[in-house]
Every structure is written in structure tokens, then in C-alpha cells.
Copies of this chain bind each other. A is one copy, B any other.
Amino acid sequence: MGLLGCGNVGAALLKLIEENQVSILDRSGEELEVVSVAVRELDSVRPAWVRRELLTDDPMSIVQDPTIDVVVEVMGGIHPAKELIEASLRAKKSVVTANKALLADHYFELEELAEEVGKDIFFEAAVAGGIPLIRSLRVSLAGEQLSRVIGIVNGTTNFILTRMDEDGLSYDVALALARQLGYAEADPRADIEGVDAAAKAAILASIAFGRKVRFSDVSREGITKVTASDFEFARRHGFTIKLLALCERIPNNDGGAFDVRVFPALVPRTHPLGGVRDAFNAIFVEGEAVGELMFYGRGAGGAPTASAVLGDLMDVAHNLRFGTTERRIDRKDVVIASPDKLSSRFLIAVDVKDRPGVLAQVAQVFGDNGISIQSMEQIGYMSEARLIFLTHDSLEKDIAKTLGQLEELDAVRSLRQAMRVLGEEA
């Protein structure tokens, strides 16, 4: 085995292999030998179990080494990871990768190349870290008609939202806390703007529905606009707020259209996703026969990710020994559903001037657009007031129209929030 990259995940993998060599052999009959490890800086300080004599700063030497039959890529980034993986496959080596950014855009090319050369590309670790999700979707649930996959797949944002919920922190303070504790990076944009979650959503949708879903197919909204007062309202009504990655088959759509999105949403506390706290991940799966499933665990971190890579490695080793590969999916192009067809329940909050007739005016706009209200609440603030509406299931295009018209009302100071609500009405 050759390893490309030796950061958190790579080092954790080497430790795991060293500590568990015996049980790996017992449980699989395979012996894993680490032949070479490519790093950027040969002289960086590394843990003791990263043996100096295995290191090289020439990743191509691994790709070209005829004694290596599996390449593990944990260096991250698109380039040169993509070129190295392609060269490895062409050199008839199977590949295990944890690289979600790469897979989100180049999954199908790499999958097709692997098929062409008769080797495997495995990537359990790329989505939801140590949670055995990808293999479950690909193999165990292969016979299922899946209708929906909806998950909390980004630990950083879930940590921030959990602290806002449980400790009443503002968004800024929760983000600062996440940075200090190492849950958020110095530049947290990929997490808080939903980029990381969208990459995972593209991969999940591709696997779950057997379609080609790319990063660019995923619409996304981050958590930067979620406020402490959104949480106050959510708490009072039995909700919490989560950043969700949604992959959905639109029912009754002849063409077989799909909706793949990332957005913050109100989630009922009684929903299994409502109790997923801090940096944990969870993925809720709905299938025609199997009903509701949920997978829960640590979505990031060196050791959990390395655990998933090791599982893949042992599976690849088994396939190599028998000269077989993972089964292939005849993958169709995806049709993304027109936003006009989508509907959801919504929470809408508007700050208005507190004077007679305002509520009637605002309510009129909802009515004019055919939006029906499930519950409403008014909170007074001196001469101002905030109106909070929870709608029944509504077409998103009608909601958009409503929001536009509300903003034009003289009595409306500002539109505070418009957020989807997960789950059917009780």
C-alpha cells in the first residue's frame, strides 16, 4: 500500500494499521504492508509511528512503484490529487480516497476510469467520516428505491448551531468558540457557507439515486444568517435549527427529477436529527421498503476518518486477491427539479412598525399568494414589533413572491428570516 499525504488522517491510519496488524489479519486474512508515504516536507516533525524510512517527497514514485497495488489518497485538494489518482488507476492500482472536494466534481470520470482499467475506487471516508454510510447505500440498500437522504454532514456548523441552541450564544460568539476549540478553521467559509456540505450532498445523491450529481447541481445556503432570536422562536415551538443536506426524489414526477440542496432548517426536537449535537453527523435515509433509517457518528477527525479508510483498504485487498471489483452502477444523468415545483413549510419573521392595521396588511400579502398560515406570533419591541409566521406546506415560488411583496410594504421595516421547516405537519 502507498499513502499519498500524511496529515491528521494519514498519520492516524498508519497508527491504526500498526496497532491492529494482528486483528486485521485475523479478521480478513489480509496483511497490509505500508510501502511508501508521500509527504510535502520530509523533515516535518511527525509522530513516532510514522517511520522516517518510508517517507518520500515524490508522490509519482508511489504511483510508479510496481510493488504497490493500492494507493490511499488523503492529501486533499483537487490538484495534484486528481492527477495522482488517475495515474494510479492507469497503473492498475486500486484507490482509496477521502477527498470529498475532488469526488464532488470528478466522481464519474474517476469511476469510469476505474471501470475501464478493472480496478476499484473506494471512498467511504469522504462523506460522514467514520460512519459506514457509502457502503450501506451502495451494497446493503442496493435493492431499495430510496426516496430521500437528509443529513447533518458538517460537524463545524452543527457545533456552532448546537452552542447557539443550548447556550443561547450569538452566531459570532459561537463561531469564535468553534475556532478556539479547533472545530472551525481560521478561514471557516467552506463550512459556514455550506460548500463542504454541498460537496457531500452531491456524492450522497449520486450514490443513493444512481445519478450523476455534481457540485454545481447543488443549491446551497449557509448558516451565516441564523440568529439567536431564530433559536428563541424555534425553542418555544419545539424546534431546533440544523444545517441540512437534502437529496430528494420528487414524487409523481414523470421525468424522475431530483432536488439536491443545502440549507438551514427548523427541525422538530422529536425528529431523530433534532438530537444530533455538537460535531456529530447523522444521515437520515428513507426507502420504499426499508422505511426510515438513520446513521449517526463522528463525521470528521483523524481517527474516525482513518477507520473508514482502513475498512475500504481491507475490502480492496479482498477484491485484489480474488481479482474482482466492486459492482458498477449504470449511472444516468440527473435532472434537477425546477424550483417552481418544490414546496415546504416555512418560518417567516418580519419586523414591522407597531401601528394599527399592520397585521392585516401583512396577512393580506400571504393570502394574496395563496400561502396559508399554520401559526403566528407577535412580539412587541417598544414602537416596533416582530411578526413570526409558520406556514403550511407552500410552493417555494409563492413564498419568494410573498417575501418580495412584504419587503415593499411601507409598514415592514425588514424581513428578518425565511427558513424551511423539516417534516410533515402533525
A residues with CB within 8 A of B = 12, 16-17, 19-20, 23-30, 124, 130-132, 135-136, 139-145, 210, 270, 272, 275, 287-298, 301, 303-304, 306-308, 310-311, 313-315, 318-319, 322-324, 327-330, 332
Checking B16, B26, B144 against A329 with a beta-carbon cut-off of 8 angstroms, the contacting residue is B26
10 new A-B contacts at CB < 8 Å, known A19-B145, A25-B330, A130-B290: A12-B289, A29-B327, A141-B307, A142-B314, A272-B296, A290-B303, A291-B304, A292-B297, A294-B294, A322-B324
Given contacts A132-B141, A143-B24, A307-B141, contact A291 B297 (CB under 8 A): yes
* Docked CA distance A58–B139 (Å): 32
Contact present for A130 and B293 (CB under 8 Å): yes
* 9 sample A-B contacts, Cβ–Cβ < 8 Å, listed by A number: A26-B210, A26-B330, A27-B330, A29-B327, A132-B135, A132-B140, A135-B135, A143-B313, A270-B275
Chain B residues, CB < 8 A from A303: 288-291
Write the chain B residue with the least CB distance to A207: B27
* Docked CA distance A332–B319 (Å): 24
Distance in angstroms from A281 CB to nearest chain B CB is: 10
How many copies of this kind of chain does the complex include?
A: 2
Distance in angstroms from A334 CB to nearest chain B CB is: 14
Chain B residues, CB < 8 A from A291: 130, 297-298, 301, 303-304
Contact present for B289 and A297 (CB under 8 Å): no
Contact present for B324 and A210 (CB under 8 Å): no
Write the chain B residue with the least CB distance to A311: B140
Distance in angstroms from A315 CB to nearest chain B CB is: 6
Write the chain B residue with the least CB distance to A296: B294
Write the chain B residue with the least CB distance to A317: B327
Contact present for A27 and B296 (CB under 8 Å): no
Given contacts A140-B124, A322-B322, contact A290 B296 (CB under 8 A): no
Chain B residues, CB < 8 A from A318: 327
Contact present for B328 and A29 (CB under 8 Å): yes
* Docked CA distance A330–B289 (Å): 34
* Docked CA distance A295–B285 (Å): 11
Contact present for B16 and A143 (CB under 8 Å): yes
Write the chain B residue with the least CB distance to A26: B330
Distance in angstroms from A318 CB to nearest chain B CB is: 5
Write the chain B residue with the least CB distance to A315: B139
